[in-house]
């Protein structure tokens, strides 16, 4: 086979036979090509999904061909394997060469459906194995680091391949979670109607509650764990992303709270790539209760030993281990950033915490599950939930998708979405017939709420629902130069707030819900953009909430204030620990759901929302000077509430970390004094 230039490979990929030229087979059986670079039975994740799907399709009578560059034996009964040449000398070579040669091999035969599990433009179906690369880079890199990451040869290659796939409306996209579908909509400007959500399945014969009786005692004996011990299980190969450090911290918190005699142990299953995690366990003095098992076959036996499965992953489209654990009758604790968390519906099945860094919430959730009295009900609920997601069901969904694609292979490319980066389905009927959706939204009028220079905020109603629309019409060079002269980064468009919303959602911090975002223009001084968000109904600003319970008994008021202060402190700590700076961190930008405050009790949920993010910035690590400004502004904005010393100490206690020493709080006090003096001078100037 002739050599190809790697830089040209992605733009000279062989043409895939057009689905629109194919005729749907008269019989039920289809000839299906599956393209996946690795197909080993020893690898989990997308490889396991592809093997399960291929086996299921064969059982349904379809002719399945798998195109792979897998060097090992990966035969599968009834599946025809095709070895595809590919270069292995670098990750870029693998990324580009496999789709090139796979498409050439596929083009030599006629297939009803070409299903790609790897980034291969031109396929009928593309099932995402990972979050979109653009979403990954936007979430995990900041500032110049993000710029250089996007410019790296590997990332730029992946971004170009994904852009070709997403811009080709002949390709139907498949994800295994709504989280990944939202990533495609929010980061890649993909119309959600092109994306099908098909959950992963689980093997109920391999993973079942009977594993406990079969393996628990043997594993306890093997590891020297007392019979009465409670076992936490962590399983994953990327310890940093999957949250092992946070799991160990939650274990430490649990052991510090223990009042009974039953010890708590943690079993860690997965490939260790760094000794730092063992060192962290040793430094915390937890070595006797943390057991590293390495990468193991027959992982199902560890579910048999576990009382609770914990996976505080930072980013996962859909961790299969959640389904495996539930099928084994073991409740789970995971995070909102794990797409598999979407299937957890009952407290008996487990808990989905807001953030991987909220170790206290994980410890609380674990404690609640370990104290569960009706273990039989817990195991039954877990098993019942998992049985909703069998591989047979997933195969039926894919069969229906294939036939639908054969009947209607091409979705029309939109002609009126130039400049539109995101448009929620609820707004599409209102603007679908507009020749220019961007211009139509910018022209929407409503009740003016704020107008500063070229930025305007209006409240609008569409189909009986309330929204807030922020329009930016270019800041001008004068404003840009003024900001630069003050060593400030100018806010050029609605993109800052759009990215801030995505960041807060990833951190598990409640904020505004966007329904539309668009941007046009390359001239920094004349960028036109907008951001539309749902109206927060039934919410009240914390700066005004004291009016809501003035008539309540003093004891009830003190309880409410105490719970609110704790909630604000925890949110602020999580926000700043992630490197975020609001720049307007005032109490009026915190909102909470209004309620009958006379019925409020300690421990009741307070879902705080942080809003107005148009000047928000994120740093790799938030400078101490920024934290001082933020906390100083927060306390200054609360002066009218006349916080007592006990209430200030309560905030300090819940916000503190190793960096917030006595000098930090002394500087915060000085900041408050300067803000008060500045306000006094401003009022004096206005009165004059």
Q: pLDDT for 631-664, tens place per residue?
A: 999 999 999 998 999 999 999 999 988 788 889 9
Average pLDDT over residues 360-380: 87
Q: Which residue has the higher pLDDT, 1 or 559?
A: 559
Q: Indicate whether 550 and 572 sit together in one domain.
A: yes
626 and 599 fall within a common domain: yes
- Using CA atoms, how far apart are residues 2 and 506, in angstroms rounded to an integer? 46
Listed in sequence order, the residues at least 6 apart from 687 whose beta carbon sits closer than 8 Å to its beta carbon are none
The pLDDT tens digits of the residues spanning 382-412 come to: 999 999 998 999 999 999 999 999 988 666 7
Three-state SS letters, 201-256? CECCCCCCCCHHHHHHHHHHHHHCCCCCCEEEEEECCCHHHHCHHHHHHHHHHHHH
- pLDDT (tens digit, 9 = 90+) per residue, 439-482? 999 999 999 988 887 889 999 999 889 999 999 999 889 888 98
Tokens of 462: 């569409």
- Per DSSP, helices labelled H in 17-121 are 46-59, 91-107
Question: Do residues 34 and 174 share a domain?
Answer: yes
Q: Quick check: 259 pLDDT over 90? A: no
Cα-Cα-Cα-Cα dihedral of 292, 294, 297, 298, to 10°? 10
Question: Which residue range forms the structural domain that includes residue 226?
Answer: 211-388
Q: Which two tokens stand for residue 252?
A: 């430490």
Quick count: other Cβ atoms within 10 Å of Cβ 220?
17
289 and 265 Cβ atoms separated by less than 8 Å: yes
Q: How far is it, in rounded angstroms, from Cα 254 to Cα 259?
A: 10
Say if residue 14's pLDDT is above 60: no
Flag whether 131 is in a domain.
yes
Domain contains 397? no
Q: Are residues 462 and 329 in the same domain?
A: no
**Which of 174, 197, 220 is the endpoint of a domain?**
197
**Average pLDDT of the residues of the chain:** 88
- Of 370, 388, 406, the one marking the end of a domain is 388
**Structural contact between residues 406 and 24, judged by C-beta atoms closer than 8 angstroms:** yes
Express each pLDDT in 76-135 by its tens digit. Answer: 999 999 999 877 777 788 888 889 999 999 999 999 999 999 999 999 999 998 899 999
Do residue 440 and residue 577 come from a single domain?
no
Neighbours of 562 (CB within 10 A): 14
Within 10 Å of residue 598's Cβ, how many Cβ atoms? Answer: 11
Q: Residue 33, Cβ neighbours under 10 Å: how many?
A: 27
- CATH assignment at residue 489: 3.30.200
Residues 91, 161: Cα–Cα separation, whole Å: 14
Spatial separation of the C-alpha atoms in residues 121 and 100, rounded to whole Å = 10
487, burial (CB in 10 Å: exposed 0-12, middle 13-18, buried 19+): exposed
Structural domain contains residue 278: yes
Task: Report the C-alpha gap between 273 and 270 in whole angstroms.
Answer: 9
**Residue 593, domain member (yes or no):** yes
24: pLDDT confidence band, cut at 50, 70 and 90?
very low
Site of tokens 């993973």: 207
CATH number at residue 220: 3.40.50.2000
Please tell me whether residues 680 and 586 are part of one structural domain: yes
Which residue among 534, 554, 589 closes a domain? 534
| Residue 411 located in a structural domain | no
What residues are labeled active site? 584
Tell me, yes or no, whether 488 and 584 share the same domain.
no
Residues 74 and 186 in one domain: yes
Alpha-carbon 602 to chain mean position:
30
Instruction: Assign 69 to helix, strand or coil.
Output: coil
Bin 54: left if φ > 0, else alpha if -120 < ψ < 50, else beta: alpha
Q: Tell me how far CA of residue 518 lies from CA of 381, 504, 514, 528, in angstroms.
A: 44, 20, 11, 8
* pLDDT value at residue 248: 94
Angle at which helix 153-167 crosses helix 143-151, to 10 degrees, equals 80
Considering the entire predicted model, what is its pTM? 0.80
Q: Quote the tokens at residue 670.
A: 């000085």
Same domain, 650 and 604: yes
Q: Which two tokens stand for residue 588?
A: 């009026």
For residue 8, pLDDT over 70 is answered with: no
End-to-end CA distance of the chain: 85
Asked if the model's pLDDT at residue 58 lies above 90, the reply is yes
What 3-state class would DSSP assign to 443?
coil
* 175/251 same-domain check: no
If one counts the domains in the chain, the total is 4
Residues 171 and 27 occupy one common structural domain: yes
> Is 204 domain-assigned?
no
- HSE of 98, CA atoms in CB hemisphere, 13 A: 26
Whole-angstrom Cα distance, residue 560 to residue 61?
63
Q: Does some domain include residue 424? A: yes
218 and 183, same structural domain?
no
DSSP H or E segment with residue 308: strand 308-311
Alpha helical stretches, state H, 548-661: 554-577, 624-637, 645-655
218, 219, 222: which is closest to 233 by C-alpha? 219
Across the range 509-524, mean pLDDT stands at 93
Q: Which residues pair with 373 in a beta bridge?
A: none
Q: Please give the DSSP secondary-structure letter assigned to residue 538.
A: T
Q: Is residue 206, in this structure, part of any structural domain at all?
A: no
Structure tokens at 646: 């006990």
For residue 21, name the pLDDT band (cuts at 50, 70, 90): very low
């Amino acid at each position: 086979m002739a050599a190809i230039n790697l830089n040209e490979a992605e733009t000279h990929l062989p043409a895939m036979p057009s689905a629109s030229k194919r005729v749907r087979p008269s019989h039920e059986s289809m000839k299906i090509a599956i393209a996946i670079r690795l197909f080993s039975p020893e690898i989990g994740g997308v490889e396991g999904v592809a093997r399960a799907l291929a086996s299921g399709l064969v059982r349904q009578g379809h002719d399945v061909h798998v195109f792979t560059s897998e060097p090992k034996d990966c035969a599968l009964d009834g599946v025809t394997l095709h070895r595809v040449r590919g270069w292995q000398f670098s990750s870029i070579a693998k990324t580009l060469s496999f789709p090139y040669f796979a498409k050439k091999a596929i083009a030599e035969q006629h297939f009803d459906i070409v299903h790609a599990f790897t980034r291969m433009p031109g396929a009928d179906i593309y099932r995402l194995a990972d979050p979109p690369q653009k979403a990954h880079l936007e979430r995990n890199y900041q500032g110049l680091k993000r710029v250089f990451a996007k410019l790296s040869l590997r990332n730029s290659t992946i971004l170009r391949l994904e852009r070709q796939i997403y811009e080709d409306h002949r390709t139907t996209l498949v994800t295994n979670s709504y989280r990944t579908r939202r990533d495609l909509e929010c980061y890649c400007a993909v119309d959600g109607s092109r994306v099908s959500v098909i959950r992963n399945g689980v093997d109920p014969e391999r993973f079942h509650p009977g594993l406990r009786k079969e393996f628990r005692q043997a594993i306890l004996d093997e590891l020297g764990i007392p019979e009465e011990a409670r076992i936490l299980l962590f399983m994953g190969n990327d310890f940093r992303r999957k949250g092992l450090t946070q799991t160990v911290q939650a274990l430490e918190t649990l052991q510090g709270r223990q009042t009974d005699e039953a010890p708590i142990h943690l079993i860690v299953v997965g490939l260790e790539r760094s000794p730092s995690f063992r060192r962290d366990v040793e430094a915390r003095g937890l070595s006797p209760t943390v057991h590293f098992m390495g990468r193991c076959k027959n992982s199902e036996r560890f579910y048999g030993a576990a009382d609770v499965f914990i996976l505080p992953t930072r980013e996962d489209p859909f961790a299969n281990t959640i389904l495996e654990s539930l099928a084994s009758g073991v409740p789970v604790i995971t995070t909102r950033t794990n797409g598999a968390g979407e299937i957890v519906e009952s407290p008996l099945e487990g808990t989905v915490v807001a953030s991987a860094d909220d170790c206290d919430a994980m410890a609380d959730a674990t404690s609640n599950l370990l104290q569960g009295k009706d273990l039989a009900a817990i195991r039954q609920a877990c098993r019942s939930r998992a049985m909703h997601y069998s591989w047979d069901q997933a195969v039926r969904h894919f069969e229906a998708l294939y036939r639908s694609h054969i009947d209607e292979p091409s979705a029309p490319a939109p002609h009126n979405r130039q400049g539109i980066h995101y448009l929620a389905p609820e707004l599409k009927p209102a603007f679908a017939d507009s020749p220019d959706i961007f211009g139509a939204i910018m022209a929407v009028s409503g009740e003016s709420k704020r107008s500063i220079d070229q930025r305007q905020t209006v409240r609008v109603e569409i189909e009986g629902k309330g929204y807030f629309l922020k329009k930016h019409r270019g800041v001008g060079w004068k404003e840009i130069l003024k900001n630069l002269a003050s060593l400030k980064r100018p806010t050029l468009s609605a993109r800052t707030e759009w990215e801030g919303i995505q960041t807060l959602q990833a951190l598990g911090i409640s904020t505004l819900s966007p329904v539309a975002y668009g941007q046009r223009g390359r001239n920094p001084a004349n960028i036109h953009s907008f951001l539309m968000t749902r109206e927060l109904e039934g919410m009240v600003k914390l700066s005004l909430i004291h009016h809501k319970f003035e008539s309540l008994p003093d004891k009830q008021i003190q309880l409410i204030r105490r719970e609110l202060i704790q909630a604000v402190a925890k949110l602020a700590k999580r926000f700043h620990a992630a490197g975020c700076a609001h720049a307007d961190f005032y109490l009026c930008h915190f909102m909470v759901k209004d309620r009958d405050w006379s019925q409020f009790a300690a421990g009741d949920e307070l879902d705080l929302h942080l809003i107005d993010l148009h000047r928000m910035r994120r740093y790799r690590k938030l400078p101490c000077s920024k934290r001082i400004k933020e906390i100083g502004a927060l306390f200054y904005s609360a002066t009218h509430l006349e916080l007592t010393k006990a209430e200030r100490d309560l905030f300090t206690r819940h916000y503190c970390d190793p960096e917030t020493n006595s000098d930090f709080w002394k500087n915060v006090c000085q900041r408050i004094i300067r803000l008060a003096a500045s306000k006094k001078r401003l009022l004096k100037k206005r009165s004059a």
